[in-house]
Amino acid sequence: MSLDMSSLFRSFFDAPALIARHGLSSIITPDGEVLDIPLSEVRDTLRQLPPPLLIHGPATLRLLELPPEPLPAPWLDLLELFLLVHPARNVTPTARGLALELKLIPPDDATPLQADILYKIAQHLLDELAEQSAQKIATLHLLLPTLRQAGWSWHDIVKDALPAAKNTTQHNRAKEVDALKIWKRLPQWEERAPRPPAGSHSVNQQEARKRLSALLGKDAEPRPGQADFASATSYAFTPRDVANTPNIMLAEAGTGTGKTMGYIAPASLWAEKNDGAVWVSTYTRHLQRQIEQELTRLYPDPTKRHELAVIRKGRENYLCLLNLEDITTTLLNRSPQQGQSGLIPLVFLALWAEATEDGDLMGGDLPGWFGDLFQSGLLNMIADRRGECIHSACPHYQSCFIEHGIRRAQHAQFVIANHALVLSQAAWNAMLPQDTAPGNLPDENGVPTRYIFDEGHHIPDAADSAFSLVFSGLEAADLRRWILGAEGGRSRARGLLRRMEDLMERLPSLKESLQELIYATQKGLPRPGWSSRLHEARQARLTPQFEDTNLPEEETSALLPDDTDEETPSLDVIEQTPLTQPAEDFLQMLDMHLDARIAELQMLTRGEHGHYPRQECDLHPIPTPLRDRAEGLLTALQDIVTPLDRVIKHLQNALEEQEEEPDTAFQQRLEGTIRSLHRRALSRLQGWINMLRAIIDQPIAQPSLPTYVDFIHREPLPSTRVLQKGHDIALNRHWLDPTIPFAGTLQSTTHGLLITSATLRDRSPNEDGDTGWEKAERRLGTAHFLNPPMRAALMSPFDYAHQTRAYIITDVSRNPTIQAQAFQALFEVAHGGALGLFTAIRRLKEVHRRIHEPLGMKHIPLYAQHVDAMTNATLVDVFRTETNSCLLGTDAMRDGVDVPGEALRMVVMERTPWPRPDILHRERRRHLSGGRPGDYDDLITRMRLQQAFGRLIRRADDRGVFIILDSRMPSRLLSAFPDGVPIQRLPLTEALADIDGFLNR
Ligand code: SF4
């Protein structure tokens, strides 16, 4: 069903205002009639009205259970107007969020807002529009015709509100089009002399305390443990005495200690004394921004902060101007009949690119809801996702955000990164001493010597992802595409031959090796359509057991050029399609092996809630046909590596020659190409070759303590990929203990390492402090370093006995109706401000389906991960802003969500968060538990409970309750909670009464 929405507004007062929500929605009609009606009546009412003034159209449609509308949206979305006025400023995408941001309501006003606020927001934003700088007004005048052409519904209203431009030179279409071409007017970065290596002066404990006190100022809230933390962590900033033995500090700081400022104090001193950079690594993008915010105390001047504190993420997070140009040009060349609505988000991106701090598309100053509002794939298309950067051969190189960020980081005092980036960089740098080839290069971010791992309890997980290997259809096809470019269709993907054209002109000898590389890739890696063939082969094998597979359908969009279809190759090497295809043969054999070994043969069938059962099996013992196919694939991969090696050597030789006659641009081009050939192709191929060798040389008996865990895993294709119907199958190799490569890569280059978190140690009952530390050291990998770490533990300053309560509910069964009723009753007694944590998405959706309406009727909005059309970060922003709302989520909401104050006063876990019983866990509990696999499960579960409990109290005046709806939760896990927390096992009704007395007294 679709609403009749054809619009052209002269005034926003012509539109009804709508705040849609579960329970009663608020509508004001253009005649001024005020309606509070149930969501079920909103659709019928809107059908009789013009398209509404609203906030977040796609989320509203979802709430109304209406299908998505293509661009241009017929309604007036205030978020689009906000983007026009404040293109690089985040705001919570709700009426309260906008009203607070624009200071239209007091910060403590929690009453439900009515739709009249939307008119005030619109008027305020239009007033602000009139106050923009002369330059911005001139730019907007140039961009408006494009927005009109694209059918933007705000066009006429904005045009009327916009003051006349000061320099009224005649506009022509060329100037208007140029206004979109942001890459032509961005500032250019300039090269600086390389930074000399950092010094080795240490930071002593007194200095660290003094610096902390100076940073906090006289009026700071006293935090007794913070100065001790700053003092203790200064150890990580003492010079190391012996090679390969970094000084490691393990510092557990209970919630509320103030650990970020605590480590900034010694780290900033070290950076100043030694003219070096300290790398702070954390787990999520959101936490990276939080740390940057804390650095405001150290660098109150924004210009200085921009210079000395730099956020670094993977390249795929940043705007690639070449991709933006590519998409913009394609859309501009479309005729009006083909539709130009895709230009609307590009106008906002052009405005954002002019205002952004660093071009970060994912979690930076581009609002997190941008992708939800327009087209989720757009941001991926304009980021450097495909790894096709051509470095100094790019016409936008000197303006490139990524290159600028890399250079800023090389001269910063603080680089704020994430664990994934830090580990991949450390792995690269650790290879250097062994690689004596000419032109070997350090990571583009340099070789840091001082690291702080904040949220350090995530190190094992981060290391597991960073050092695992996977050979799958998608991975292999991705590499083929990276080398060959798109093959047919409309995709813009450029292959190596096109990307290296300029290099071949200067180094003609490259061409032969490149052509060999292309031929070997065509022969060896899966051809387009591989997933359909894989699927059909499986279906043919298993038919007639299964008739219909109900696999995910294609998702396409007509808005933007299709990024994954294929085009006719422009290469001068034409594929001679071989009869057999080593990679596809191998994938089919993996499929057969998995079917033979899984307990229950089943097709990948979408479950009731759109999810798929996990399908995996052990690789070992390996049947002969699989080994034979592995040999075929191994040969094919080696045939790719041989010319690839030659290409890299050509480039390295050319780079070496540069030392005699340097040409900076060419040198940068060579360096960038060598790094990407290594990273995107060679290291991947070498990893796969090592995996295949292990299959071929399989020992007769498996070692009693394996180094790796090998398994096969099948899954549907990601729904975001525009590919044929089919599935993917993967061979996985994980380190049994991923902290071994973590220690191996860091210990050679690192001089000082601080690992900190609120939850480093397990709180196992009946264990002394030393045992807890020893277990933490094994888990975090510091036991693999040569030098034992120093340890420090700072207690949380919070009074948990008075600020919290914990309940284990004894009479709520696993029946979905009973579970949903329990959630509803708990959320109601708390009057919102509750976070529900689930261990299965299916159950989360079920509870949401049952309780969102009744909660809405009581003015308690319910949001949910996997249900609402918003990213996790946006959902958390909404939850934080709407203090009476509730949020349902899974693991990502359990760790690292920081919602202080009233907005979070209850955490409800639906079940005990046991580890998932998969093959990887089976092997780790067997081999890493010291013969006590049950204790290993308990440890993981207690750590998760600690993390979940940690969400509850973030400030000294917070109060909160923690509830587990699982009567079977063993008492031995209760030690996860901080000392003093009153814990009770109660039936639900008694617990509700107790909670009511505690929270509402
Ligand atoms: S230098 Fe690379 S990442 Fe930057 S704009 Fe050019 S192609 Fe994109």
Q: What number is the average pLDDT over the span 765-779?
A: 85
Kindly provide the b/e burial profile for residues 836-861, where b requires at least 16 CB atoms within 10 angstroms of the residue's own CB.
bbbbebebbbbbbebbbebbbeebbb
Q: Give the least confident one: 335-339, 359-363, 906-910.
A: 335-339
- What pLDDT band is residue 702 in, cutting at 50, 70 and 90? low
Per-residue pLDDT reduced to its tens digit, 229-246: 999 999 999 999 999 999
- Give distance in angstroms: CA of 485 to centre of ligand 1: 17
Mutate which of 188, 317, 320 for ligand 1? The one with the most ligand atoms within 8 Å of its CB, which is: 320
Residue 401 near ligand 1, beta carbon < 6 Å: no
Identify the DSSP state of 901: G
- In the reported structure, the alpha carbon of residue 437 is separated from the centroid of ligand 1 by a whole-number distance in angstroms of 27
Tokens 């973030």 correspond to what residue? 954
Q: Are strands 469-472 and 247-253 parallel, antiparallel or unpaired?
A: unpaired
Our mutation pick for probing the ligand 1 site, out of 189, 361, 390, counting the most ligand atoms within 8 A of Cβ, is: 390
With b for 16 or more beta-carbon neighbours within 10 A and e for fewer, the 278-288 pattern comes to: bbbbbbbbbbb
Asked if residue 776 has its Cβ within 6 Å of ligand 1, the reply is no
Long-range pairs of 654-660 with CB within 8 A, sequence gap ≥ 24: 654/439, 654/506, 654/507, 655/438, 655/439, 656/438, 656/439
pLDDT of residue 180: 93
Mean pLDDT on 36-56: 91
Cβ 547 vs Cβ 494: under 8 Å: no
Side chain identity at 335, as an amino acid letter? S
The reply to whether ligand 1 has any atom less than 6 angstroms from the CB of 394 is yes
**Percent of the chain having pLDDT more than 90?**
67
324 lines ligand 1 (CB under 6 A): no
Extended beta strands in 665-815, E state: 708-716, 727-735, 752-757, 790-794, 804-809
Centroid of ligand 1 to alpha carbon of 728 (angstroms):
31
Is the pLDDT assigned to residue 4 strictly greater than 70? no
In whole angstroms, what is the distance from residue 751 CA to residue 498 CA? 42
The pLDDT-based confidence of 718 (bands split at 50, 70, 90) is confident
Measuring CA to CA, which residue among 224, 194, 367 is closest to residue 289? 367
Least confident of 567-581, 658-672, 867-881, 931-945: 567-581
Q: What pLDDT digit, counting tens, does each position of 444-482 carry?
A: 667 789 999 999 999 999 999 999 999 999 999 999 999
Task: Decide if pLDDT at 805 tops 90.
Answer: yes
Q: Is the separation of the CB atoms in 107 and 100 below 8 Å?
A: yes
Q: What local confidence, expressed as pLDDT, does residue 266 receive?
A: 98
pLDDT tens digits, one per residue of 356-411: 999 999 888 999 999 989 977 899 999 988 888 998 899 999 999 999 999 999 99
pLDDT of 730 higher than 60: yes
Distances (CA, A) of 156 to 10, 110, 166: 6, 34, 20
Q: What is the pLDDT of residues 120-132, one digit of tens each?
A: 999 999 999 999 9
Integer Cα distance of 285 and 363 in angstroms: 6
* Ligand 1 atom 8, closest CA: 320
Backbone angles phi, psi at 355, to 5 degrees: -105, -15
Chain-centroid distance, C-alpha 428: 22
Q: Which element (helix H / strand E) includes 582?
A: helix 582-597
Taking the CA of residue 397 as reference, the ligand 1 atom at the shortest distance is 1
Residue 883 · residue 51 · CB < 8 Å: no
Angle at 66 between CA 63 and CA 69, to 5 degrees: 110
pLDDT digits (tens, 9 = 90+) for 575-624: 444 556 899 999 999 999 999 988 765 555 544 444 456 789 999 889 99
Per-residue pLDDT, averaged over 305-314, amounts to 94
User: 322 in ligand 1 pocket by Cβ < 6 Å?
Assistant: yes
Percent above pLDDT 70 for the chain: 90
Q: Are 503 and 669 in contact (CB under 8 A)?
A: yes
Lowest mean pLDDT among 112-116, 184-188, 247-251, 539-543: 539-543
Which atom of ligand 1 has the smallest separation from the CA of 318?
3
Query: Is the C-beta atom of 390 inside 6 A of ligand 1?
Result: yes
> pLDDT-derived band of residue 350, with 50, 70 and 90 as boundaries?
very high
Residue 492 binned pLDDT confidence (cut-offs 50, 70, 90): low
Whether residue 320 has its Cβ less than 6 Å from ligand 1: yes
Compute the distance between CA of residue 897 and CA of residue 606 in angstroms, rounded to an integer. Answer: 31
Distance 769 CA to ligand 1 centre (A): 51
Q: How confident is the model at residue 690 (pLDDT cuts 50, 70, 90)?
A: very high
Separation of alpha carbons 115 and 20, rounded Å: 9
Distance of CA 279 to the CA centre of its chain: 19
Which of 327, 394, 401, 407 is the best mutation target for the ligand 1 pocket, counting ligand atoms within 8 Å of the beta carbon and taking the most?
A: 394
Residue 421 has pLDDT above 60, yes or no: yes
- The region of weakest confidence among 571-580, 619-628, 676-685, 932-941 is 571-580
Atom of ligand 1 nearest to the CA of 323: 8
3-state SS assignment for residue 741: helix
Query: Do the Cβ atoms of 591 and 728 come closer than 8 Å?
Result: no
Q: Which two tokens stand for residue 819?
A: 């579970």
Minimum-distance ligand 1 atom for the alpha carbon of 384: 3
Q: Which residues contact 48 (CB under 8 A, 6 or more apart)?
A: none
Selection from 273, 296, 274 nearest residue 448 by Cα: 274
469 in contact with ligand 1, CB cutoff 6 A: no
pLDDT of residue 555: 35
Per-residue pLDDT for 325 more than 70? yes
User: From the alpha carbon of 321, which atom of ligand 1 is closest?
Assistant: 5
Residue 550 scores a pLDDT above 50: no
Residue corresponding to tokens 């071929």: 696
Q: Does 737 contact ligand 1 (Cβ within 6 A)?
A: no
Ligand 1 pocket test, pick from 321, 401, 492, 679 with the greatest ligand atom count within 8 Å of Cβ, gives: 321
Q: Which residue's CA is the closest to the ligand 1 atom numbered 7?
A: 389
For ligand 1, whether the C-beta of 384 sits within 6 Å is yes
Q: Which residue has the tokens 């509910």?
A: 809
In the predicted model, what is the mean pLDDT of residues 8-24?
A: 85
Q: Per-residue pLDDT averaged across 524-535, rounded? A: 91
The distance of Cα 804 from the centroid of its chain, to the nearest Å, equals 32
The pLDDT, as a whole number, for residue 240 is 93
Residue 712 has pLDDT above 90, yes or no: yes
Residue 899: which pLDDT band, with cuts at 50, 70 and 90?
Answer: confident
Long-range pairs of 763-766 with CB within 8 A, sequence gap ≥ 24: 763/942, 763/946, 763/975, 763/976, 763/977, 764/935, 764/938, 764/939, 764/942, 764/975, 765/972, 765/975
pLDDT of residue 664 exceeding 90: no
Q: Ligand 1 pocket, 98 CB below 6 A?
A: no
What is the mean pLDDT of the segment spanning 909-914? 96
Is the distance from the beta carbon of residue 806 to the nearest atom of ligand 1 less than 6 Å?
A: no
Q: Using 50, 70 and 90 to split pLDDT, how confident is the model at 145?
A: very high
Q: Check if the beta carbon of residue 512 is closer than 8 Å to that of residue 677.
A: no
- Taking alpha carbons only, the member of 616, 603, 591, 504 closest to residue 552 is 603
Which residue shows structure tokens 């400030």? 955
